[in-house]
A and B are shown apart, each in its own frame.
Chain A
């Protein structure tokens, strides 16, 4: 069983197949040429590939492959109901459903919308509770549009879910998406000086739930790095203490240790490039009390960007893609460059192939 890195790019999807040592990678693709692949994922339940593919002319789509990318099937009927007054702008994130719900997938998109599929991604239904959320009028699009980019499902309870939307904030459901509650207490919206701690409207950039301690959430926000130990009911700000900046997009965890997290700080909202002229990945091993560089093997002189889907993790390592077209894999404390000269990398995910 080798590692499979899915690198979604501005010009299609590339698959990087690593051998057992994870130091040699064979590059396949591009699949879905001509499409911006905002996110692609392997469904661990059946091995199917899914891709959020967007095109500036033809809109936002979802594609599924059952043969590791050789052939693809496009989802049908993906769109928003006419009475909503909204139209689907882009597809952003695919999340396979709970292991107890085979065939169920969740899709996040813009403008701040969530879809559910119960047939393996062949058709999708919009989530009405989020579409008609009473706070929607207080949501605003970030620079990338009003994207629903984070979907997390509690592995111990399929009914408990989280979504992250820019700039609406984090929302929690305890009834499988029938209703959603804002979960933003303690997170800042510094860009709203008249109400810097609103109920909703925060610009969350990425939310992850720790799979072994699902009450613990991590968040990279436009305004800080946060951790919640109570399912998003409150958040503790964690930046400073070694981080060069509170701004960034990417976030990764360590499935074996809930106190470990990785971020890639950028200079700031007005200069979205990695901090201090280097490709600096920072790690905490004490739940965010302190941060240290974990960049051995990465370029020490670099001005790059790692997007919100540009960092992934599994039991063996951490994986990173840059807008400069490189993909790196971190094994045993050292990064190696798995691919270079790809188109700008929009997303990285990891799975297995055999």
Chain B
């Protein structure tokens, strides 16, 4: 099972759960299986620009993007970009 770990605010929105185990072949499948998928993807299905995704500690962008396959024991981490604090974001 692929493990997905969420930051605090998303975990709160997921009913207090920060760790999920999901059946998934790709990074995107794993993320779309989450109950908070609407918070990390917009209505067009695109990853929101300030959401970062790491697979086994590596930025998903540098390992084939969200369509890349994941190992059955992979760990995916969702991380909010460091854009907080600005009144303009």
Rounded to whole Å, the gap between the CB of A76 and the closest CB of chain B is 7
Cross-chain contact A87 with B42 (CB below 8 angstroms): yes
| Per-residue A-contact encoding for B8-43, CB less than 8 Å = 1, 0 else | 111011000000000000000000000000111011
Beta-carbon contact of B43 and A80 below 8 Å: yes
Distance in Å from the Cβ of B89 to the closest Cβ of chain A? 4
- A79–B41 alpha-carbon span in the complex (Å): 11
Residues of B within 8 A of A33 (CB): 9, 12
Contact B51 A57 (CB under 8 A): yes
Q: Pick the contact of A55: B9, B42, B81, B86 (CB < 8 A).
A: B9
Give per-residue flags for A24-42: 1 if the beta carbon is below 8 A from chain B beta carbons, else 0: 0000000001110000000
Interface residue? A61 (CB, 8 A): yes
Measured between beta carbons, the chain B residues less than 8 angstroms from A55 are 9, 39
CB distance from B78 to the nearest CB of A (A): 10
Given contact pairs A76-B38, A77-B38, A58 touches B43 in the complex (Cβ within 8 A): no
- Count residues of chain B with CB under 8 A from any CB of chain A: 20
Contact of A82 with B by CB under 8 A: yes
* A59 / chain B contacts, CB cutoff of 8 Å: 39, 42, 48
Query: B40's closest neighbor in chain A, by CB?
Result: A58
Contacts of B86 in A (CB 8 A): 56
Instruction: Decide yes or no whether A272 CB sits under 8 A from chain B.
Output: no
CB of A143, distance to nearest CB on chain B (Å): 10
Picked from A57, A76, A80, A82, the residue with its CB within 8 Å of the CB of B48 is A57
Chain A residues within 8 Å of B39, by CB: 55, 58-59, 61
- Answer whether residue A88 sits at the interface, using C-beta atoms and an 8 A cutoff: yes
Q: Could you say which of A35, A56, A76, A79 contacts B42, with CB atoms under 8 Å apart?
A: A79
Verify if B58 is at the interface (C-beta below 8 Å from A): no
Chain A residues near B8 (CB-CB < 8 A): 34
Complex CA gap A61/B48 in Å reads: 14
Return chain B residues, CB-CB under 8 Å to A61: 39
B9 adjacent to A34 (CB under 8 Å): yes
List A contacts of B51 (CB < 8 A).
Answer: 57-58
Cα distance, A56 to B51, chains bound together (Å): 10
Closest to B83 in A: A56
A88 to B41, CA, bound (A): 12
At the interface, yes or no: B60 with Cβ under 8 Å from chain A?
A: no
Q: Is the CB of A58 within 8 A of B44?
A: no
Q: In the complex, A79 Cα to B89 Cα: how many Å?
A: 19
A45-96 with Cβ < 8 A to chain B = 55-59, 61, 74, 76-80, 82, 87-88
Known: A56-B83, A61-B39. A87 touches B9 (CB 8 A): no
B84 touches A56 (CB 8 A): yes
Q: Which of B10, B13, B44, B81 contacts A87 (CB 8 A)?
A: B44
B80 within 8 A of A: yes
Across the interface, do A56 and B50 meet the contact criterion of CB distance under 8 Å?
yes
- Smallest Cβ-Cβ distance to B8: which chain A residue: A34
* The one of B40, B43, B84 that contacts A88, using a Cβ cutoff of 8 Å: B43
B43/A87 in contact, CB under 8 A:
yes
Interface centre among B43, B48, B81, B83 (most CB of A within 10 A): B43
**5 shortest A-B CB distances, which residue pairs?**
A79-B43, A58-B39, A56-B89, A34-B9, A57-B50
B positions within 8 Å CB-CB of A: 8-10, 12-13, 38-40, 42-44, 48, 50-51, 80-81, 83-84, 86, 89
21 contacts between A and B (CB under 8 A): A33-B12, A34-B9, A34-B12, A35-B9, A55-B9, A55-B39, A56-B84, A57-B50, A57-B84, A58-B9, A58-B40, A59-B42, A59-B48, A61-B39, A74-B13, A78-B38, A78-B43, A82-B43, A87-B43, A87-B44, A88-B42
Given A33-B9, A74-B38, A77-B38, 18 new contacts (CB under 8 A): A33-B12, A34-B8, A35-B9, A55-B9, A56-B83, A56-B84, A57-B50, A57-B81, A57-B83, A57-B84, A58-B10, A58-B40, A61-B39, A78-B43, A79-B42, A79-B43, A80-B43, A87-B42
